[in-house]
Amino acid sequence: MSDAYLHLKNVVKSYDGRINAVDGISIDVRRGEFLTLLGPSGSGKTTTLMMIAGFEDMTAGTLELDGHSLADVKPYRRNIGMVFQNYALFPHMTNARNVAFPLKMRKFPKEEIESRVDKALALVGLSAFADKFPREISGGQQQRVALARGLVFEPDVLLLDEPLGALDKNLREQMQVEIRRIHREVGITTIYVTHDQTEAMTMSDRIAVFNNGKIEQVAPPLEMYLRPATHFVGNFIGDSNFLEATVIDGASGKLALGAIGESFGNCADAGLTGRPVHALIRPENIHLIASDSVSAGLNVFDMEVEGSVNYGDSVLIIGRLGDAPLRIRVPGVSAGAVDAGSQLHIGWRKEDVHLIPRAEN
Domain extent listing, the chain: 4-233, 239-357
Which residues partner with 127 through β-bridges? none
Q: Which of 151, 176, 152 is nearest to 163 (CA)?
A: 176
In the 8-state DSSP scheme, what is residue 217? E
Residue 1: pLDDT band (50, 70, 90) is: very low
User: 32: which DSSP letter?
Assistant: T
Residue range 112-130, pLDDT digits in tens: 999 999 999 999 999 999 9
Measured distance CA(196)–CA(175) in Å, rounded: 14
**Could you tell me which of 254, 250, 211 has the C-alpha nearest to residue 234?**
211
d(CA 54, CA 295): 58
Over 60: is that where the pLDDT of 287 sits?
yes
Q: How far apart are CA 80 and CA 15, in angstroms?
A: 24
Q: What is the dihedral of CA 62, 214, 237, 303, to 10 degrees?
A: 150
Class for the domain spanning 4-233: alpha beta
Cα–Cα distance, 37 to 61 (Å, whole number): 18
Q: What is the DSSP string of 178-196?
A: HHHHHHHHH--EEEEEES-
Residues 193, 35 contacting (CB under 8 angstroms): no
Task: Return the pLDDT at 254.
Answer: 86
> Over pLDDT 70: what percentage of the chain?
96
Q: Which of residues 98 and 163 earns the better pLDDT score?
A: 98
Q: What is the CATH number of domain 239-357?
A: 2.40.50.140
Confidence check: pLDDT of 328 > 80: yes
- Segment 25-71, tens digit of pLDDT: 999 999 999 999 999 999 999 999 999 999 999 999 999 999 999 99
Q: What angle do CA 124, 125, 127 make, to 5 degrees?
A: 110
Predicted pLDDT of residue 212: 96
> Quick one: how far is CA 89 from the chain centroid?
27
Main-chain dihedrals φ then ψ at residue 105, nearest 5 degrees:
-65, -30
> Does pLDDT of 349 surpass 70?
yes
Average the pLDDT over 14-31 and give the result: 95
Asked if 11 and 51 count as a contact pair (C-beta separation under 8 A), the reply is yes
Q: Rounded to an integer, what distance in angstroms lies between the CA atom of residue 270 and that of residue 252?
A: 8
Q: How distant, in Å, are the alpha carbons of 29, 47, 215, 265 from that of 21?
A: 21, 7, 12, 37
- Residue by residue, DSSP assigns 312-330 as SSEEEEEEEETTEEEEEEE
Residue 332 has pLDDT above 80, yes or no: no
Q: Please report the pLDDT score of residue 263 as a whole number.
A: 84
pLDDT given for residue 291 in this prediction = 66
* Cβ 207 vs Cβ 224: under 8 Å: yes
Q: What is the pLDDT of residue 336?
A: 54
How many separate helices (H) and strands (E) can be counted in the chain?
Answer: 8, 20
- Half-sphere exposure of residue 67, counting CA atoms within 13 Å on the CB side? 2
Euclidean distance between the first and the last CA atom of the chain, given in angstroms as a whole number: 36
